[in-house]
DNA sequence: CTTGCGCCTGACGTTACGTGAGGTGGTATG
DNA sequence: CATACCACCTCACGTAACGTCAGGCGCAAG
């Protein structure tokens, strides 16, 4: 029946926590050992060891000291402890998902940076911003764009995503490089050709026309117009444009010049 | 060439960050907008929007504001940015591993709590503490115990672990229940029989004897003795005993009484 | 003239401790 | 006996990234 006691430093060493931490737990009424009446020194006993292990265990599960304090009184775990565990579980799962998203974004970014020697900062930011909320973008798009196009717009595997990004990146590079040149410039033509092929991998001409119709907003449906406007605003808020307004205006003009004939051509066929 | 500007609240709304956060970034020299000379109001411009997106992106990757500040000056990402990303990556991977360990522990605990109606707190703490550092325990054991036994002692799949724990749990329950009864009591006998079978699933009689020899410490090898002592201390520090000293003493006596005959019996066979 | 709005600065609260500073009782050494 | 040192005590500030008041200013409407 040995009644072993420890001074605070002994206790700290034998449990592996710091003296300061023990002070803190005492201060916060989480673990209050007996005191030497005269000198005020803390005296830890076996029972405190068990309590401390309980604390460490709950901390390891990711619980806050406030939660822990709440579960320290009863001698057996009650039902509320299961609830707490379940809560912790879902919290941890969420955390892990966030980490997974960030990790994928990092890996994709490193990949891009390694392959392209000089990457424009604005473009990279835009891509990363886009990665941050791919899911949210997909959610938003669901009300506006057809399901089968969405599926192609948001590829599942990281590999395909990386190809996607590589292409966007080189496209923006060329926009920046050629901005200001006339539409009939051969390199501009080449750029637009490539871009068109890229788009066509994701959709087809008819769907594209549909999309253009939707976003041109010239049908009288007020409610729908509202919805589409907020959609565009949301996307703009989530993903910043990687090109300047000047470049954007130029690009828009180029696309109109480029698409015009194609449009009519298709129209003629029908 | 419209030169759009925003007040702080407009800017906050259109980017989705709080006014206080913008104040904070200004204070910390991370994002300092122009000022209205007279009233001192902050004036945000398009350029600030891009900068803020850059900040948000790096934050999303898990970087600290200090790191972010460091990468805010140059207009293109330099090589040090890749290094930072790599660093972040390994940090996130570590975090995720911790989360995985905690999640598995939670799931195993919930499983136990659901199957056993009343779980003793001390036993549960002991199990959870053990889960926290399974890897470390395994590392420690490597210097002392034979590899093939280690493999059986530390099962890989969560399922087997849960079976393991269930058994330990019921065993401790029975120890607590029968403590004090004589060795020839039928229920005690049953308990010891079950325990013996449990042990035999992990090892065999010869290895068990070896283990007993090792831990009895009666060979003169000082150095080895030292190693084994520190091993035992480490394990005791990591995993608290879920039973009282009284129960432990009783159990030890029961085991000696139980093993004695078996020992001799085997000895006689050789 | 008062009220209210949007903005400003300053300051304290948050979590789980780390890191001193300055004071006390008990012991080893000169 | 004086002194140094040790282990302990309490008090208090610092950390990261903001949230949340509190008090004050310029400007517009009632």
Sheet of A42-45, strand order: A5-6, A42-45, A34-35
Say whether both A195 and A232 belong to one domain.
yes
Closest nucleotide relative to residue A65's CA, C1' based: C16
Q: CA–CA separation, B33 vs B15, rounded Å?
A: 15
pLDDT at A95 over 90: yes
Query: Does any strand D atom come closer than 7 Å to the Cβ of A23?
Result: yes
Q: Domain check: are B170 and B105 in the same one? A: yes
* Claim to verify: residue B47 and residue B164 sit in the same structural domain: no
Predicted TM-score of the model (pTM):
0.80
Q: Which of A44-58, B125-139, B254-268 is modeled with the greatest confidence?
A: A44-58
Mean pLDDT for all residues in chain B: 85
Alpha-carbon gap, residue B144 to B215, rounded angstroms: 10
Q: How far is the CA of A6 from the C1' of C27 (A)?
A: 19
Check pLDDT > 70 for residue A131: yes
The pLDDT, as a whole number, for residue B5 is 94
Q: Is residue B84 part of a domain?
A: no
Question: What residues of chain B lie within 8 A of the CB of A76, using their CB?
Answer: 118-121
- Is it the case that residue A269 has pLDDT exceeding 50? no
Per residue in B131-144, pLDDT (tens digit) is 888 888 888 888 88
B121 and B192 both lie in a single domain: yes
Both B130 and B163 in one domain: the answer is yes
Q: Are A42 and A124 in the same domain?
A: no
Residue at A89 is within a domain: no
Query: By percentage, how much of chain B surpasses pLDDT 70?
Result: 91
Give residue B74's pLDDT: 67
- Domain of residue A24 covers 5-76
Assess if residue B182 is contained within a domain: yes
The percent helix, strand, coil of chain A (3-state, each to 5) is 70, 5, 25
Confidence of residue A1 (pLDDT cuts 50, 70, 90): very low
User: Nearest 5°: CA angle at A133, between A119 and A206?
Assistant: 85
Asked if the structure places residue B81 within a domain, the reply is: no
Q: What is the reported pLDDT for A188? A: 93
- Given this model, what pLDDT does residue B72 score? 85
In a domain, B91, yes or no: no
Mean pLDDT, chain A, integer: 85
Our measurement of CA A36 to C1' C25, in angstroms, reads 12
Cα dihedral value B76, B80, B82, B87, nearest 10: -140
What's residue A222's pLDDT? 74
The pLDDT tens digits of the residues spanning B37-76 come to: 999 999 999 989 989 999 999 999 989 999 999 888 766 5
**Is the shortest CB-to-strand distance from B19 to strand C under 7 Å?**
yes
Q: B46 and B109 share a domain?
A: no
Facing A121 at nearest CB: one of B61, B75, B86: B75
C1' nearest to CA of B20: which nucleotide?
D18
For the ranges A157-171, B72-86, B112-126, B171-185, the lowest mean pLDDT is seen at B72-86
For residue A62, what are the contacts with CB-CB under 8 A and spacing of at least 6?
A: A88, A91, A92, B99, B102
Domain ends where: A76, A110, A131?
A76
Query: What is residue B62's three-state secondary structure?
Result: coil
CB pairs A-B closer than 8 Å: 126
CA distance B172 to B164: 12
Pair B20, B127 in one domain: no
**A100-119 pLDDT, tens per residue?**
999 999 998 888 888 877 77
CA distance A131 to chain B (A): 9
**Percent of chain A topping pLDDT 70:** 91
CB A239 within 8 A of CB A130: yes
Whether residue A19 is found in the same domain as residue A71: yes
Q: Which residue has the higher pLDDT, A228 or B190?
A: B190
Please state the rounded mean pLDDT for residues A16-20. 96
**Which of B41, B76, B111 represents a domain boundary (last residue)?**
B76
Closest nucleotide over all strands to A28 (CA to C1'): C16
Query: What pLDDT does residue B270 have?
Result: 40
Distance from CA of A93 to the nearest CA of B (A): 8
pLDDT band at A78 (very low <50, low <70, confident <90, very high): low
Q: With respect to residue A64, please indicate whether it lies within any of the assigned structural domains.
A: yes
Do A28 and A128 belong to one domain? no
Domain count, chain B: 2
Please check whether residues B39 and B124 belong to one and the same domain: no
B99/A96 touch (CB, cutoff 8 Å), yes or no: yes
Q: Are residues A67 and A129 in the same domain?
A: no
- In chain A, whose CA is at the least distance from the CA of B76? A121
pLDDT surpasses 60 at B229: yes
A217 confidence band (pLDDT: 50, 70, 90): low
Instruction: Give domain status of residue A16, yes or no.
Output: yes
B5 touches strand C (CB under 7 A): no
For residue B22, what is the domain's CATH number? 1.10.1660.10
Asked whether residue B86 is assigned to any structural domain, the reply reads no
Tell me the C-alpha distance between B20 and B93, whole Å.
Answer: 31
Q: Stretch A65-76: mean pLDDT, rounded?
A: 82
Report chain C positions within 7 A of protein CB atoms: 6-9, 15-19, 25-26
Q: What is the mean pLDDT of residues A171-194?
A: 91
Let me know: does A162 contact A200? Beta carbons within 8 Å. no
In this complex, which of A14, A50, A106 lies closest to B89 when CB atoms are compared? A106
Asked which of A48-62, B18-32, B245-259 is least confident by mean pLDDT, the reply is B245-259
Lowest mean pLDDT among A187-196, B60-69, B149-158, B167-176: B149-158
**Residue A92: its chain B contacts at CB < 8 A?**
99, 102-103, 106
Helices and strands (H, E) in chain B, number of each type:
13, 3
């Amino acid at each position: 029946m040995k009644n072993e006691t420890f001074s605070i430093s002994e206790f700290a060493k034998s449990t592996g926590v710091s003296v300061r931490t023990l002070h803190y737990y005492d201060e916060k009424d989480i673990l209050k050992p007996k005191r030497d009446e005269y000198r005020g020194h803390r005296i830890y006993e076996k029972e405190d060891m068990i309590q401390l292990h309980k604390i460490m265990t709950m901390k390891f599960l990711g619980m806050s000291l406030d939660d822990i304090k709440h579960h320290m009184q009863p001698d057996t775990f009650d039902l509320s402890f299961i609830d707490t565990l379940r809560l912790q579980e879902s919290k941890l799962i969420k955390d892990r998902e966030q980490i997974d998203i960030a990790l994928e974004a990092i890996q994709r970014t490193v990949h891009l940076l390694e392959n392209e020697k000089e990457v424009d900062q604005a473009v990279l930011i835009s891509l990363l911003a886009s990665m941050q909320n791919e899911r949210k973008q997909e959610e938003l798009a669901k009300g506006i764009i057809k399901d089968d196009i969405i599926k192609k717009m948001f590829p599942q595997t990281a590999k395909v995503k990386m190809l996607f990004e590589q292409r966007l990146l080189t496209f923006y590079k060329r926009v920046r490089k050629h901005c200001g040149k006339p539409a009939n410039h051969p390199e501009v033509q080449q750029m637009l050709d490539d871009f068109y092929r890229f788009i066509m991998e994701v959709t087809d001409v008819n769907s594209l026309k549909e999309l253009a119709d939707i976003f041109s907003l010239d049908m009288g449906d007020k409610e729908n117009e509202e919805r589409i406007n907020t959609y565009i605003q949301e996307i703009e808020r989530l993903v910043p444009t990687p090109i300047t307004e000047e470049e954007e205006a130029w690009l828009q003009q180029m696309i109109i010049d480029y698409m015009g004939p194609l449009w009519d051509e298709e129209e003629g066929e029908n």
